[in-house]
Amino acid sequence: MKISRSRFTIYLGVYLLCLVALIPFATADQHATDPTISYHSEIVPILKRSCQGCHHPGDPNGDLIVTTYADLKRGGMAGDAIVPGKPDESLLIELISGDEPAMPQNQEPLSAEEVELFRRWILEGAHDDTPAEVDDMGEGNYPTYTVPPVVTALAYSPDGSTLAVSGFREILLYDTTNFELKARLVGKAHRIESLMYTADGKILGMAGGSPAQFGEVQLWDTATNTLIKAIRSSYDTVYGLSFSPDASRIAFGCSDQTVRVLSVEDEKELIKFDNHSDWVFGTIFSTDGSHFVSCGRDTALKLVEVDTGSFVDDINSSNKGYGEINTIARHPTQDQVLSAGEDRIPRLYKIFREIRRDVGNTDFNLIQAYEAQSGTIEGIAFSADGSRFATGSGGGEARIYNTEDGKRLASMQGDAVGVFAVSFHPNGTQLATGGFDGKIRIFDAATGKLLNAFMSVPIEPAGSEDVALVVSGMT
């Protein structure tokens, strides 16, 4: 049977029309066989990486918060962020799509595949599959250790009665008379990176977090050992906590290359300083609280005005090849900052410039460069009167120096591998050190003699049946 050209054309047209009509159903059927998009494992990692920096409770740009499902669904000033089943009516899709997407700001746009993940998730109903948080840690139920964790932070209370020590998810408080454990402060953050008391001793502050999950600052009431606030900021561990002189503000550094300054009273983010080009490890306030100094991997010491967040100056000459700065401390009574890190040399700087920069970027603010240490410097601390300072290094050694002339006063073996934290007793007679092996060592600050040594945490026998949580040596 022969088919005429005209009839063939009609048949072809009908076939193509049917094919076009069936394509959406075929596509829908294909999507139906694809696994459902997971909010917890696929959407949240993108939000953490690209969105939480500008849309968290401390800094809700456009009143949009993306750190929890409930906040994301609530939306912001411009409308509903997600409308389940309707991606084209969801503000979030509008913000992350197009040739020049509005989000994320000052970062690479999301890839087409990532945008499609969001579209499919919303089309499927934008379900929240975040697993319920199960956490039985708290008062009376503490982490249990079969090996000691690395000690990353130490701090004496201003009255000298207590030594605060970092553990896994907890701060351990030791009585300095007999160095017996008297309290354990358990929080959500896995890592404790920084400990600091307010000048009046009423609050103990912690900066840390859980890697790749959240950064957290905890504020503890020292009279009752109860948690006052737990403030989450950034999507990774935070570092280098400092209090303003009046304790109304806190500053800390982040792995997203920013410094955050928050109000203690209402937790509002006052400053998000983003002039660093790498992780920020340390912050300190000037003596009057009008400025802060920050440091980190980019080798710079940056001076910033607190009220405005305006960048003022690079205190040091960061182009000199000194390497990353791991830690800083402010002189207790003067506007001077001691910095130390990769190149093993502690350097004391004036915070405020007195000589204008020259073409050669001379280190005019430098007061003194001290003796090189046996390894990368991980911790530094001033004595209460500022006349001495101590260093802890990756070589396992701690040293004490005269601040004015740089004379070495004492050398101590503080650890077999590395000393990561040092702290002077307020009366200046003792120095506490902690490091890789998990031991706390107390030295006579005048002679360097070892006075006491004890494990930073209680150690349980291996194989104990009632162990709630076994913590390895690297937290």
- Per residue in 5-25, pLDDT (tens digit) is 444 444 445 444 444 444 444
- Per residue in 334-347, pLDDT (tens digit) is 999 999 999 999 99
* Identity at 120, one-letter amino acid code: R
pLDDT band of 3, cuts 50, 70, 90: very low
In CATH, which superfamily holds the domain spanning 144-471? YVTN repeat-like/Quinoprotein amine dehydrogenase (2.130.10.10)
Q: Is the pTM of this model over 0.85?
A: no
Mean pLDDT, residues 381-389 taken together: 98
| Count of alpha carbons within 13 angstroms of residue 120, beta-carbon side | 20
User: What pLDDT is recorded for position 107?
Assistant: 82
Q: Order the strands of the 280-285 sheet from edge to edge.
A: 280-285, 291-296, 301-305, 311-314
pLDDT band of 135, cuts 50, 70, 90: low
- Per residue in 244-303, pLDDT (tens digit) is 999 999 999 999 999 999 999 999 999 999 999 999 999 999 999 999 999 999 999 999
* Per-domain boundaries in the chain: 39-123, 144-471
Instruction: Report the distance separating Cα 101 and Cα 286, nearest Å.
Output: 40
Helix (H, G, I), strand (E, B) or coil at 273: strand
Residue closest to 143 by CA, chosen among 467, 465, 464, 473 = 467
Nearest 5°: the CA angle 173, 175, 181 is: 55
Residues 344 and 377 sit within 8 Å (Cβ to Cβ) = yes
Q: Work out whether strand 470-471 and strand 144-145 pair parallel, antiparallel, or are unpaired.
A: parallel
User: What pLDDT is recorded for position 251?
Assistant: 98
